[in-house]
Amino acid sequence: MTIAPTLRIAAFTLMMGAGLATTAVAGNNSVVIEQWGAANAVGGAQSGHGQRLSVYQDGWSNTSINTQDGYHNRSVVGQRGHRNTVDTDQRGRDNIAGVAQFGGHNEAEVDQRGRRNAVGVIQAGHGNNAQTTQRGNGNVAVIVQD
């Protein structure tokens, strides 16, 4: 089962500009969103079993769009500066994605499909761009930039 891209856009549009700190739990899925600053946007959609999505955004004009399908997925996004962008898309089983961006104008895009994939992205300075795409199973990728 796949989540339609329109659901992503609808979730993003609904959450855009709404600075909120909330926790929503449905079954084994959980979503934690914390935002401070101004003009931060979050969009998230989950389907399946046992997923967790945690988004922390400080600063201003940070964007995070996340979609998860499958089983045992986890997506963690932390952004602090300004105008940081994260787009995470996971399908399959046992996937883990994590992104931490601290400066400004950083962009990270993670796309995983398959089984048992893991991605970790840490970007510290300004203007870093990380793009990771994994298909198949058993893949691990780590990107650290300053």
Is 75 strand, coil or helix? strand
3-state secondary structure 117-137: CEEEEEECCCCCEEEEEECCE
Q: Alpha-carbon distance 97 to 110, whole Å? A: 7
Strand partners, 132: 110
If one counts the domains in the chain, the total is: 1
Reply yes or no on whether the pLDDT at 118 is more than 70.
Answer: yes
Structure confidence by residue, pLDDT tens digits, 12-66: 433 443 444 444 444 577 888 899 999 999 988 888 877 899 999 999 999 999 9
For residue 115, the model assigns a pLDDT of 84
Reply yes or no on whether the pLDDT at 111 is more than 70.
Answer: yes
Note down the domain range covering 77.
5-145
Reply yes or no on whether the pLDDT at 7 is more than 90.
Answer: no
Reply yes or no on whether the pLDDT at 134 is more than 50.
Answer: yes
For residue 73, the model assigns a pLDDT of 87
Average pLDDT over residues 71-86: 93
Q: How confident is the model at residue 71 (pLDDT cuts 50, 70, 90)?
A: confident
For residue 29, the model assigns a pLDDT of 76
For residue 3, the model assigns a pLDDT of 47
CA distances (Å), origin 6, targets 12, 62, 71, 81: 10, 21, 22, 28
